[in-house]
Structure 1
Amino acid sequence: MADQIIGLHEWIATPPGAYLLAWERAQMATAVADVFGFHALQLGLPELDALAANRMPHRWLATETPNEKAAFVTDFSALPFPANSLDLVVLPHALELTADPHSALSEVARVLVPEGRVVICGFNPMSLWGFRQQRGHLYRRLGVNRLFLPQAGEFIGYLRCRDWLRLLSFEIESGDFGCYRPALTREPWLQRFAWMDQAGARWWPFFGAVYCLVAVKRVRGMTLLNPAWKPTRILANAPVSVANSSGSHRVGFQ
């Protein structure tokens, strides 16, 4: 089965994909539930309704390729929103699959309001899954496809992603790792190693197969006021609103 995997959307339908999706769904629910504002955006992975637990009145799902679940299609490096107009942006594996991840993240920084939040999920190259993927790339040079994870895109490690965010004036609020089971393709074998989720979170927390980062956009020299009421911002030339499209380890940062 793994030899036929060609992309993230196909991979999500496999047993390890479902395992990862369940972990990310729980992480997103926790990360976005208490983020308040008016406008939220999800970039990529329509299989995961990352904004389901959020209560903002205006929520969009965007993809770079046509998808029936998406509100609109756009280049992640050129989002159709004014500067300082979104309160929350979530990127489940979007940076890994877009052609220019650094430009996409810079664009997210542009459209977020001061104190707005970004939530990013990505594969961790320093994990059992990442090691198997690296070995698969060696086999590909011999003409044999033994990749475990999706072929497309470049996996961006946790530390690299964190450094990019800091360069864009984001402050890391939290970082989570999860999915510690071995790189296995069959459901029964994945279930046999369920105990590794708790063991991994305790003994090797930074080697989970996937990570989730939450960061806040900081603007130096700006004093935020808290008025008694806040008027609704109207986005010029923005897409139509879509409401509710259909074991981890946390690391704190200062």
Structure 2
Amino acid sequence: MSAACSDIYASAPLRQLLADEARDLLPELQRCTGDHGLLVSAAMQDRPPALPLLSCWTHLRLAGDRYVGDLHARVDEPLPFVDDAFELVILRHALEASALPQPMLEEGARVLSPGGLLVLSGVHPLSLWTPWMVWHGRGQSLRLHMPLQVGEWLRRHAMQVECVRRVGHAVPGGGGMPWLTEAIGGGYVLLARKRRQAVTPIRLVPRALRAPADAGLAPGARRNTACAAAMNEDRR
């Protein structure tokens, strides 16, 4: 491989990182249910995970300023999907390969259904992978984002971050002990869920009811009145 790879995501270290991410996320993804999932990836050979409880996938790949794959669209335009269309949205290294990361994240939140899961992965800027990415990704517009920053973007759009964790080897193509992976792994995964809209109960306003003008006496009162009338009649 040349020093500057034409597609850095086709390199052996990043293919291994993608595999590590998929293995790490599998337990959470297998619990996802619904009819539609969306995968947006920077890797050409990436494929949606096989999930038994999710029916249909839409797969998009970033190619410069365009999406290609199951449909073709421009990155600087809204995704051609209605709101709340997907129960699961996966952005695999898509933010770091996009010139418009915040609008992409906003679109991912928009098309996610309430209660749905958004999964995001990328190379962690505070890792030994950063200089490797800079060197081997020359000629490609790559921007690494801190998970904390991504989490703040998500919270502005009714998203609740459930967890963030490090994955992958500490150095590109290297090995390491499991505790090193958890502490200084080269990649990270972030899971966030779209908040369900709270149902606001209708507040009932009490209203006074007017009694009819010709309301009769209560049954007991009528009996007492009748007895008094009878006694008066007898006295006469």
* TM-score w.r.t. length of structure 1: 0.68
Moved over 4 A (4+): none
Q: Where does the alignment leave 5 or more consecutive residues of structure 2 unmatched?
A: 201-236
Match of residue 48 from structure 1:
46
Q: Partner of 2:74: helix, strand, or coil?
A: coil
CA distance in 1, matches of 2:59, 2:16: 22
Deviations 1:117-158 (A, max 9, x none): 11001110100112555xx5xxxxxxxxxx045632211111
Answer yes or no: is 1:57 the counterpart of 2:46.
no
Q: CA RMSD in A?
A: 2.5
Q: Partner of 1:160: helix, strand, or coil?
A: helix
CA distance in 1, matches of 2:56, 2:114: 18
Distance 1:96 1:222, change over 3 A: farther
Match of residue 24 from structure 1:
21
Match of residue 149 from structure 2:
160
Deviations 1:161-194 (A, max 9, x none): 111111212111222211233245xxxxx3xxx2
Equivalent pair of 1:123/1:157 in contact (CA under 8 Å): no
In structure 2, which of residues 24, 31, 34 is the aligned counterpart of residue 34 of structure 1?
31
Answer yes or no: is 1:74 the counterpart of 2:73.
yes
Equivalent pair of 2:48/2:57 in contact (CA under 8 Å): no
Deviations 1:81-112 (A, max 9, x none): 11112111100011111221111111111111
Q: Which amino acid aligns with 2:21?
A: E
More strand by share: 2
**Correspondences of 1:136-215 after superposition (within 5 Å):** 136=134, 147-149=135-137, 151-183=140-172, 190=174, 194=175, 196-201=176-181, 205=183, 207-215=184-192
Deviations 1:2-47 (A, max 9, x none): 52214xxx22333312321220221342332111111111012342
Report which stretch shifted further, 12-21 or 96-105: 12-21
Match of residue 231 from structure 2:
none
CA distance in 2, matches of 1:22, 1:117: 20
Q: Partner of 2:87: helix, strand, or coil?
A: strand
Equivalent pair of 2:160/2:195 in contact (CA under 8 Å): yes
Give the number of the structure with larger relative contact order, counting CA–CA contacts within 8 Å between residues 6 or more apart: 1
Higher-Rg structure is 2
Deviations 1:231-254 (A, max 9, x none): xxxxxxxxxxxxxxxxxxxxxxxx
Match of residue 194 from structure 2:
217
How far did 1:215 drift? 0.5
Q: Partner of 1:4: helix, strand, or coil?
A: coil
Q: Which amino acid aligns with 1:70?
A: G
Match of residue 100 from structure 1:
100
Match of residue 234 from structure 2:
none
CA distance in 1, matches of 2:58, 2:44: 11
Q: Which amino acid aligns with 1:200?
A: L
| % identical equivalent positions | 26
Distance 1:72 1:31, change over 3 A: farther
CA distance in 2, matches of 1:58, 1:164: 28
Q: How many residues are matched?
A: 195
Q: Where does the alignment leave 5 or more consecutive residues of structure 1 unmatched?
A: 137-146, 185-189, 224-254
* TM-score w.r.t. length of structure 2: 0.73
